[in-house]
Structure 1
Amino acid sequence: MSINSPQQIAEISIEAGVKKSHLPTVSILVLGFLAGAFIALGFLLDIHVSTMIPGPWASLGNLMGAAVFPVGLILTILAGGELLTGNMMTLPTAMFAGRISAGAVARNWLLVTFANLVGALFIAYFFGHVLGLTEGAFLAKTLAIAKAKASADFGQALISGIGCNWLVCLAVWLSFASKDVTGKILGMWFPIMAFVAIGFQHVVANMFIIPAAIFADALTWFDFVENFFPVFLGNAVGGAIFVGLAYYVSYSKAAQAQVTVEHAASVEQPVGQKI
């Protein structure tokens, strides 16, 4: 079959978390830079596509922009990359299974956060500011998105972050479900399109859009930091709890419990007893 069962996906997720925790620092930094840049490029494409749609059709423009945004995660999963939001699901799942330590999770998240930020800033500054791809004709759209995200209070940003990474990690989970490229792309596409169309907050995407507004002298680095922490926490909860823990408890742990029960029953059966 070309699809993995939920139980198999849970095991794949655990193994992915274990492998990520053992990556050398240099590999994490390079792959993290690429993932941050990929997500930023997807956001840049979103801005350009949505800006091309006439004002009276702005809602359609937002939907079309959301429909092209998934290219960032597709590149990350298929070409290779270390993305913080996806790792907020895979590494905790491996930790819940007792395969890695909390320290390994923290190390990976810290390195990947830094690398994602550098990659996103690279696109925001050189492509967005120097080339003007987030300014000029695209400035109004850039600022509208950035200011909407930065204006959310702590609670709003936290809850929005949970919703975002619930969907993003479901996209990663669905990519594990398929054994072929087409299935992986389709599995990732719609959850990512959904979170963008809804307007949920993604910590790595915000590493691109808010600095793009900063480089245009419309926001400050204080605005960025104030937004970063609640969105980071919300994304962590959405990925680790709403996807990682939920499916670990439902599938991986349940499967282990079933094996334990069956083993106990076989041990308790008297020797020589016939069924």
Structure 2
Amino acid sequence: MSYYNPKEIADISIKKGVEKVESSKLSMAILGFLGGAFISLGYLAYIRVTGTMPHEWGSLVTFIGAAVFPVGLVLVLIAGGELLTGNMMAVSIAYFARKISFTQLMKNWLLIAFYNLLGALFIAYFFGHFVGLTEGAFLEKTLHTAEAKVNDPFWVAFVSGIGCNWLVGIAVWLCYGAKDVAGKILAIWFPVMTFVLIGFQHVVANMFIIPAAIFAGHLSWTEFVFNVIPVFLGNAVGGAVFVSLMYFLVYQKEASKIGAFSVDKDIKKAG
């Protein structure tokens, strides 16, 4: 087969989660920076594609933008990068499998979040503000998008974050299941495209778009922080619970029970 079955994907995800936790500090720093930068480049492409489209086109504008946004996660998973939302799935299932500790999980999430933030701020400031790619004719789109994020109440942003990382976590899961590059790209593209079409909130993407508006002289860092907190928590639930925990309970917990049952039968036979 040109792909792995779900049970095999669970095994691969656990292995990936352990590898992420055991990465060197230098690797985490570089790959985390790249992860934040790549997602931001995908969002920058979205702004540049949709920013000057006629409002009369309605949802078609969002559809076209959503079609280019997934390039960010493609770069992370194929070129190489560490992304907080992806780690919320992979590192979590390694924790559920008792391969790593809770302290290791939290340390990985927080470190990668910090380095993702650096990568996102780099793109927002140097490409968005200094070069001007999110300003000028594109400023209206940048502001409209960023304001929509920060205007969501805490619990709306939280639930939106769940929806986002349910889909992003599935994209990473499916990517692990493909054996060739073309299959991995297709596996990533459609779930990510779907979350953008729906309008769910992604914490690392927000680390780009909201600062881009701030660097342009709009919004505030306080609004940024009050957005990042609920979206981070929602993304964590989406990736860790709605993907990792559910698949762990099906493909790992059940396998453990079957294995234990077989051992018990063998012991009884031997007795």
- Shorter-chain TM band: over 0.9
1-side partners of 2:216 and 2:56: how far apart? 26
Please show how residues 1-275 of structure 1 align to structure 2 within 5 Å: 1-269=1-269
Query: How many Å separate the matches in 2 of 1:115 and 1:258?
Result: 41
Is the contact made by 2:52 and 2:138 (CA closer than 8 Å) also made in structure 1?
A: no
Q: Which residue identity is paired with 1:39?
A: I
Q: Is the 8 A contact 1:52 1:61 kept in 2?
A: no
Rate the CA distance shift 1:125–1:5 in 2: closer, same or farther, 3 A: same
**In the alignment, residue 180 of structure 1 is paired with which amino acid?**
D
Provide the rounded CA distance (Å) in 1 between the counterparts of 2:209 and 2:168: 18
- The C-alpha deviation readout for 1:207-235, integer Å capped at 9, x for no partner, is 00000000111100000000010000000
Query: Does the CA-based 8 Å contact 1:164-1:238 persist in structure 2?
Result: yes
Counterpart CA distance in 2 for 1:127 and 1:33 is 15
Please tell me whether the aligned partners of residues 50 and 58 of structure 1 are also in contact (alpha carbons under 8 angstroms). no
Preserved CA contact (<8 Å) 2:52 2:137: no
Q: Take 1:270 and 1:110, find their aligned partners in 2: how far apart are those partners?
A: 50
Q: Using the TM superposition, give the Cα deviation of residue 48 of structure 1 relative to its aligned residue in structure 2, in angstroms.
A: 1.0
Quote the RMSD (CA, aligned, Å): 0.9
Question: Does the Cα contact within 8 Å between 1:117 and 1:204 map onto a contact in 2?
Answer: yes
Structure 1: which 4+ aligned runs deviate by more than 4 Å? none
Structure with larger Rg: 1
What displacement does 1:61 show?
1.3
Measured in 2, the distance between the counterparts of 1:257 and 1:81 equals: 35
Q: Which letter maps to 2:160?
A: S
The 2-side partners of 1:146 and 1:110 are apart by 23
Paired residue secondary structure (1:269): helix
Cα drift, residue 59 of structure 1: 1.6
Q: TM-score, normalising length from structure 2?
A: 0.98
* CA distance in structure 2 between the aligned counterparts of 1:102 and 1:149, rounded to whole angstroms: 30
Deviation at 1:52, TM superposition (A): 4.1
State the SS of the aligned residue for 1:38: helix
SS of 2:58 mapped into structure 1: helix
Shift of 1:55: 2.3
Which structure 1 segments of 5+ residues have no match?
none
Supply the AA of the counterpart residue of 1:231: V
Per-residue displacement from partner, 1:75-134 (whole Å, max 9, x unpaired)?
Answer: 000010010000001111101101000111111111101100000000000000011100
Identity over aligned pairs, percent: 58
Q: In the aligned structure 2, how far is the partner of 1:57 from the partner of 1:15?
A: 45
What does the per-residue CA deviation read over 1:249-268, in whole Å, with 9 as the maximum and x for residues that have no partner?
Answer: 01011112111112211221
